[in-house]
Amino acid sequence: MDSGLIVFSLEYTCLVNSDRGIFESNIGLWKNQLEWSSALIPYNVLDRHSHESIRVIDNMSEIRRTAQMLNHNGISDTNHIKLIEPQLGNQLITISINGSDTFVNNSKSELLKAFKRVSYAKLDLARADFERVTPEFLQLLDSAALRFGVEILISDYDTNFHGFSAKSHSVFIYLLGDINQIKRAEIHVGVLVDTLLNRHFVDRLQISMSTLPSLGGFGMSNLVELMRELNVKVHLPYFADQISACQKAKESKMMSIWLTSKRMSEISFAKEALLNLHLIREPPSDRESGLFTQEVEVSKAKFELIALYNQQNIHSIMLKHDTCARKALYRGSQTQTIIVQGQTATSVQAAATDLNDLSCLFYQLDIKFTRRPSMPDLELYLISLVNFRKTCVLSYNDQGISLIGNRAEIRAVLKELVSDLENHLFFFRMVNDRELELCVKMEVANDQKEFMSGKKNGKIMKILSLLCNVPSIHFQRLNDFNFTICLRVPVKAGIKNRQVSTAFGLLVRTMCLLELEFPAEVRFNIPEVFHKSIIGNAGSIIQSIMKKYNVFIQFSRNETTLDSASPNAKDPIFFNLKRRNNVLIKCPMKNLKNIMLVKYEIDQLVQQCWQNTSFTSNGMSVIYNGAQVRLLKSHFILLIRKMNFDLQFVMDLETNFNAHVDFPKTVGDFEGGSTYLINIKGNDNNARLCAEKLASLLPKSTEFEIACGSKVFADCIDPQDFREIIILPFKLILETEMSVEDSVSTSPEHGNICRIILSSYSDNFRDIATSQLTKYLMLTNVKVLGNRDLDYTPITFVDGVISLTKQSPRKFHSKSPHKSPLKPLQDSPQKASQSQFSSASKNGSPRKTTKKPLKVITNQHSENFTEQVPALTITRRDKARS
């Protein structure tokens, strides 16, 4: 052996199938019995298939071919690659590259490019859709398979391509191959199925890749809400592989969001909503790049491990912070740059911090010694250290041995080396009578440095005193996010083997003691209005908890971060209400179990504040009064649209009135109902003032009463026609939301009486919508009893108890010491949650006043009435609001 050696492992993945499909593409990924080895496949998989007809797709063949090519091009006495194929008890591909630095680095790069993670995707195909499959559709599937480099299979077998396979009544489309290519092909095939088989309309919206996560929102919740509100399927582009060890860096580019639906009007409205959201989220024109950008530097070796085994974490970080992260072009240094882009400085900073934290998952172990002449079986011994460890990368050169890997695997390697030394095995002969320096490097976030060292380095001094000051511990700055802790234990030449093993054991003990001092923490949010009561007079309550559990607790105010580029601008909270964490519980890892006990006690204090039961036992003198605002779903949709989808106004309400507002995070919080009961808590009269301010932000409404006889409203009209002609144009053109209530009351003359509510911020638009709806109902022979402005009082005051859980109005009123303006509803809580009215008369219906009687409307056409309902065309209006 000469020059250098590197050993690493890759995860082996495969798909096995013996069932013939109804349709199969053939781009050459399937390997027949002559092209794959049964030694690679576990017996529990093979036993479930017929050996004569088994076909396999795996990631071994491409790596084998690449290794053979590299060996053929660069093989010599010094340059060669050894490939240890996976076995039944070890599903890892171990690769050893031996040779010059240039050969080692280039070969590793090529092998990582050849590495794929094989998987499959399954699309359900209804029998009716399957019967519409045409040769044209199958030809397009063949083209898609060739374009994306995947195999496509149509089969009536339900299988996971490992062992399970069963005949099914359903038909499935399977896509098999590289997981990244499958994700892209799945979008393409999904659009083909919708358009050619389901006969849906299709359209697309192109946006920049960098703005896709911010447009989608936290967990893509914005698009989930859009799909929930409309009958539209949204096919999102795949962008999770922008940080990859296997592919070259890509420049940011435009990507397509595909929209499919049975009705073009649904697509038009969905596209309009996405365009509006995209325009709102467009960065200020005074920023050249259009996005906040931050670069993150990670060591190249750790970056490769993160990209290989932490893709899901990277994707989660991007969605969590509404940011985009991608690999920058490699500049040939020992570090790799990750570019993070987002709409706000705060989100970019948070995402960059979380990405840096991923590198803290890996340790580096250096065993430095003077290299001796080559020993027989040295390469095989070094391979054995890594062979069963997925994340370990071993390097051997003139400086000694270096390993980088997951914390647990580095600890396991150290224990194996100690065992070899104690039993005089190969490693003993390798380092015997040589001067060594053992070093472990661990990355920790910069803001944890003071916590790790303790007051006046007290924690470090205590660890060193326990170990007789033999090891050394140094803190070294790494970058703007992390610092490195270096643990070193020297071993002088000529000492006995027992002392060498003791030195390794000492290093392991130092690691363990230091890891016990690593910070464990949890962050969460509690209403800021309760902070003072929970902390107690002069911090008495929280101090006692800290002392009892030996933890650190910090409360912070929800101060809005200011954009550096625009000092007066606040960070927006788009579409999905996310509260910033304002409580931190931190302790050393050795006290980890206490964190949840502390959180439980704080949660109990919060509940006591809600129930006003803590002031007697804990010396709290503050009594929190409550108010409730009954929010209609249609009002919620219009309100957030008026606020440009920015829910920062909720935080402003809480700050201005020193109150807590239990505002719905998304439309999903309505849980299929039409109302949501907002609980507001504050001391003195702050809750009442906050409720009044919130109520003043709500739009006005007009109600219709419809005679439905023995039917519900949906049976009186054509639902699809009603949605096409009334609901969608009202949303898109008139900015008017509609809700329908069935059977709000009954009468002997008219039977079931249903109610339609039109809501809008524009009186003009609401009047137009009222006129259009009246004409439509008359032409469809639906009997309208009348319409009027909705007499709606959303506020219900409750002094004292407000539960954190959603309860029926009846339960709330029963706990109120004051008479409620609403009489408790006689219906079940489920029906009560469907009501959209809080201002009611004795029978629960809105008050009818003599000052404004219901307009009398009949279905009898006058002689001059020949006007038909005009068709509202869907066109984009000017952004100016009337």
Burial of 529 (0-12, 13-18, 19+ CB in 10 A): buried
Percent pLDDT > 90 in the chain is 41
- Helix and strand numbers, DSSP H then E, in the chain: 30, 32
Segment 690-698 shows an average pLDDT of 94
Nearest residue to 640 via CA among 542, 574, 580: 574
For the domain spanning 4-199, the CATH number is: 3.30.1370.10
Euclidean distance between CA atoms 564 and 293, whole angstroms: 12
CA angle at residue 200 from 196 to 201, to 5 degrees? 110
Burial of 283 (0-12, 13-18, 19+ CB in 10 A): middle
**CATH classification for the domain delimited by 524-611, as one of 3.30.465.10, 3.40.630.10, 3.40.30.160, 3.30.1370.10:** 3.30.1370.10
Nearest residue to 775 via CA among 687, 834, 862, 881: 862
Same topology, domains 4-199 and 203-359? Answer is yes
Quote the pLDDT of residue 842: 38
Segment 451-463 shows an average pLDDT of 89
Quote the pLDDT of residue 219: 59
Domain 623-698+794-829 has CATH 3.30.70: yes
The architecture that CATH gives domain 362-517 is 2-Layer Sandwich (3.30)
- Which uninterrupted H or E stretch holds 693? helix 686-696
Euclidean distance between CA atoms 787 and 563, whole angstroms: 48
Cα 230 versus chain centre, distance: 22
Q: Are the beta carbons of 550 and 593 closer than 8 angstroms?
A: no
Mean pLDDT over each residue of the chain, to the nearest integer: 81
Residue pLDDT, tens place only, 180-213: 999 999 999 999 999 999 999 999 988 877 777 7
Q: Are the beta carbons of 282 and 220 closer than 8 angstroms?
A: no
**CATH classification for the domain delimited by 701-792+849-882, as one of 2.60.40, 3.30.70, 3.30.420, 1.20.120:** 3.30.70
Quote the pLDDT of residue 557: 84
Helix axes 60-74, 101-114, angle to 10 degrees: 160
> Averaging pLDDT over each range in 27-36, 248-257, 724-733, 802-811, which range is the top one?
724-733
> Averaging pLDDT over each range in 140-149, 434-443, 574-583, 624-633, which range is the top one?
140-149
Residue pLDDT, tens place only, 593-613: 999 999 999 999 999 888 887
Q: Are the beta carbons of 405 and 387 closer than 8 angstroms?
A: no
> Could you tell me the residue ranges of all domains in the chain?
4-199, 203-359, 362-517, 524-611, 623-698+794-829, 701-792+849-882
Quote the pLDDT of residue 411: 92
How many Cβ atoms sit within 10 Å of the Cβ of residue 202? 16
The total number of residues shown for the chain amounts to 882
Q: Are the beta carbons of 291 and 302 closer than 8 angstroms?
A: no
Q: Are the beta carbons of 82 and 98 closer than 8 angstroms?
A: yes
pTM of the model: 0.80
> Which DSSP string do the residues of 562-578 spell out, in sequence order?
BPSSSTTPBPP-BSS--
Quote the pLDDT of residue 702: 95
**CATH classification for the domain delimited by 203-359, as one of 2.30.40.10, 2.20.28.120, 3.30.1370.10, 3.10.20.30:** 3.30.1370.10
Quote the pLDDT of residue 793: 85
